[in-house]
C-alpha cells in the first residue's frame, strides 16, 4: 500500500508532465484526423499549451485551495464563472491572432462568426482540461483525508485497547491479592502455592498480553491457572466443572478475552453463594469457531441485579470484543433462576506462533 501511495504522490513533476503530454497528443490527433492536418494541429496545440496550463494551474492552485477548500462557496462560484470566461477569451485570442489571421497556419479555414460564439465554443472545447485537473486534485484531497482519518481511527482504537488492558491488570491483581491476603491472615500453608501460581499468572499478563494475539492453548492454560488459584481458596465447597473439546493447534485469540467471564463467575457467583456454589465451563473448538460457555450459581437477594452483569471486567471485555472482533463474535449473557450464564461464539485466527 505504501509503495502504491509513493508512486502516486511522490513523483509529482512526472505526473504533471504525463498529464500535459496526454492532453497534447489527444487534441493533436483528434483534430488532426479531421482533414489529415496533423502537422498543423501539433503546432496549434503547442501554442495553446501555455494558455491551457495557465487556466488549469490558476484553478487548482488558487481558486480551489483559497475558496472551495475554505468553504467560501459563493465566492468560488463567482470566480469559476469569471475564470471560465477569461479562459475562453484567452483561447479565442490565440486562435484569432496566431492561427486564423492572415498568414496563420489555419487562415484558409477561417469562418467569420460572432465573438461570443467563438469564445464559448473554445471554452466548451478546452475547459475540460482544468475541470478534469480539478477533479483529480479534489479526489487526491479526499483520498488523503480518508487515509488520515483511518490512521487516526486506528491510533484511537490502539490507545483504547491499551487502556482496556491496563484495566485488566489491576482488576485481576486486586481479586487475587485479596485471596492471598485472606489466607495469610489464616496463616494457611497454601499461601506459598498461591504466590507461585500468581507469579505464573503475572508472567502471562505482563508479557503475553502485550501481543495482539496469543496461542489459544496459552489463553486456556491461563483459565486453568486461575481456577487452580481459586480452588485453593474455596476448597471442597466449590463444585467446578471444566470441559474442553477440539483442536487447539495453530489457533490464536486476543489475550485475556476469556478470563473476565471466569473471574466474574467467581466474584459474583461463588463468593456470594454460601451454600453449594458451582461453576461450569464448556469450551468447544470446531475449525476456527470457538464456543465458550460458562454458567454459575448465585444468590439473587445478595446482590444488585443492575451491577451484576455490568462490572468493570465484563464492560471491559465487551468493548474489547467490539474493537477486536467486529462482525466476528456473538455474546449472550443471561440471568435466570439463580443461574448466570455467558455464551460467547468467536471466530479465531489461524497462524503459527513460536
| Per-residue model confidence as pLDDT tens digits over 87-107 | 888 887 777 766 555 444 444
Instruction: With CA atoms as reference, report the closest residue to 294 among 209, 220, 198.
Output: 220
pLDDT (tens digit, 9 = 90+) per residue, 192-209?
A: 777 888 788 777 777 766
Per-residue confidence (pLDDT) for residue 4, from 0 to 100: 47
Instruction: Flag whether pLDDT at 336 surpasses 60.
Output: yes
Residue 192's CB is within 10 A of a number of other CB atoms, namely: 10
Instruction: Flag whether pLDDT at 212 surpasses 50.
Output: yes
Domain ranges of the chain: 2-126, 162-350
**DSSP label of 303:** S
Query: Which band of pLDDT confidence, cut at 50, 70 and 90, is reported for residue 298?
Result: confident
pLDDT (tens digit, 9 = 90+) per residue, 108-131?
A: 444 445 444 455 666 677 888 999
Query: Which band of pLDDT confidence, cut at 50, 70 and 90, is reported for residue 347?
Result: very high
54-84 exposure pattern, b = at least 16 Cβ within 10 A, e = fewer: ebbebbbeebbeebbeeeeeeebeebbeebb
Cβ atoms 138, 148 nearer than 8 A: no
pLDDT (tens digit, 9 = 90+) per residue, 13-29?
A: 888 999 999 988 888 88
Instruction: Flag whether pLDDT at 2 surpasses 60.
Output: no
Mean pLDDT of 30-39: 71
pLDDT (tens digit, 9 = 90+) per residue, 52-82?
A: 899 999 999 999 999 998 889 999 999 999 9
Cβ atoms 299, 338 nearer than 8 A: yes
Per-residue confidence (pLDDT) for residue 160, from 0 to 100: 66
Distance CA 199, CA 283 (A): 25
Per-residue confidence (pLDDT) for residue 306, from 0 to 100: 44
Q: What is the mean pLDDT of the chain?
A: 78
Per-residue confidence (pLDDT) for residue 117, from 0 to 100: 46
Per-residue confidence (pLDDT) for residue 275, from 0 to 100: 67
Instruction: Flag whether pLDDT at 7 surpasses 70.
Output: no
Ranges 93-107, 274-288, 312-326: which has the least confidence: 93-107
pLDDT (tens digit, 9 = 90+) per residue, 226-255?
A: 888 777 777 777 788 999 999 998 899 988
Per-residue confidence (pLDDT) for residue 272, from 0 to 100: 59
pLDDT (tens digit, 9 = 90+) per residue, 155-188?
A: 666 666 666 665 555 555 676 677 677 777 777 7
Instruction: With CA atoms as reference, report the closest residue to 312 among 157, 120, 145, 172.
Output: 172
CATH code at 162-350: 3.30.565.10
- pTM, full prediction: 0.55
Mean pLDDT of 328-346: 90
Per-residue confidence (pLDDT) for residue 11, from 0 to 100: 74
Mean pLDDT of 322-335: 89
Q: Which long-range CB contacts under 8 A does 58-61 form with residues at least 24 apart?
A: 58/83, 59/83, 59/130, 59/133, 59/134, 60/130, 60/133, 60/134, 60/137
Helix (H) or strand (E) segment spanning residue 345: strand 339-347
The H-assigned helical ranges of 186-250 are 191-207, 216-234
Q: Which residue has the cell 454459575?
A: 296
**DSSP label of 310:** -
Amino acid at each position: 500500500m505504501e509503495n502504491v501511495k509513493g508512486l502516486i504522490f511522490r513523483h509529482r513533476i512526472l505526473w504533471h508532465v504525463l498529464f500535459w503530454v496526454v492532453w497534447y497528443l489527444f487534441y493533436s490527433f483528434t483534430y488532426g484526423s479531421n482533414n489529415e492536418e496533423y502537422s498543423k494541429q501539433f503546432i496549434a496545440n503547442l501554442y495553446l499549451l501555455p494558455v491551457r496550463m495557465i487556466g488549469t494551474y490558476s484553478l487548482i492552485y488558487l481558486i480551489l485551495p483559497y475558496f472551495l477548500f475554505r468553504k467560501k462557496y459563493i465566492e468560488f462560484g463567482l470566480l469559476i464563472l469569471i475564470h471560465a470566461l477569461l479562459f475562453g477569451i484567452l483561447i479565442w485570442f490565440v486562435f484569432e491572432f496566431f492561427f486564423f489571421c492572415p498568414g496563420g497556419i489555419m487562415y484558409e479555414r477561417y469562418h467569420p462568426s460572432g465573438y461570443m460564439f467563438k469564445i464559448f465554443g473554445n471554452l466548451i472545447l478546452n475547459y475540460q482540461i482544468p475541470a478534469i485537473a480539478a477533479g483529480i486534485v479534489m479526489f487526491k484531497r479526499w483520498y488523503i483525508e480518508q487515509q488520515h482519518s483511518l490512521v487516526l481511527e486506528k491510533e484511537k482504537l490502539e490507545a483504547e485497547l491499551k487502556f482496556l488492558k491496563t484495566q485488566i491488570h489491576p482488576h485481576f491483581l486486586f481479586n487475587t491479592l485479596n485471596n492471598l491476603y485472606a489466607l495469610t491472615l489464616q496463616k494457611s500453608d497454601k499461601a506459598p502455592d498461591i504466590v507461585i501460581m500468581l507469579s505464573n499468572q503475572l508472567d502471562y499478563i505482563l508479557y503475553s498480553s502485550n501481543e495482539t494475539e496469543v496461542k489459544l492453548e496459552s489463553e486456556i492454560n491461563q483459565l486453568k491457572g486461575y481456577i487452580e488459584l481459586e480452588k485453593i481458596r474455596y476448597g471442597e465447597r466449590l463444585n467446578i466443572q471444566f470441559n474442553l473439546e477440539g483442536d487447539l493447534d495453530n489457533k490464536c485469540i486476543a489475550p485475556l478475552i476469556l478470563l473476565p467471564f471466569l473471574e466474574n463467575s467467581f466474584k459474583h457467583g461463588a463468593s456470594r453463594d454460601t451454600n453449594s456454589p458451582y461453576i461450569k465451563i464448556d469450551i468447544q473448538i470446531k475449525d476456527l469457531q470457538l464456543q465458550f460457555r460458562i454458567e454459575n450459581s448465585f444468590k439473587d437477594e445478595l446482590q444488585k441485579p443492575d451491577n451484576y452483569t455490568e462490572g468493570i471486567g465484563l464492560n471491559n471485555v465487551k468493548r474489547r470484543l467490539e474493537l477486536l472482533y467486529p462482525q466476528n463474535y456473538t455474546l449472550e449473557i443471561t440471568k435466570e433462576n439463580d443461574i448466570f450464564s455467558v455464551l460467547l461464539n468467536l471466530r479465531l485466527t489461524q497462524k503459527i506462533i513460536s
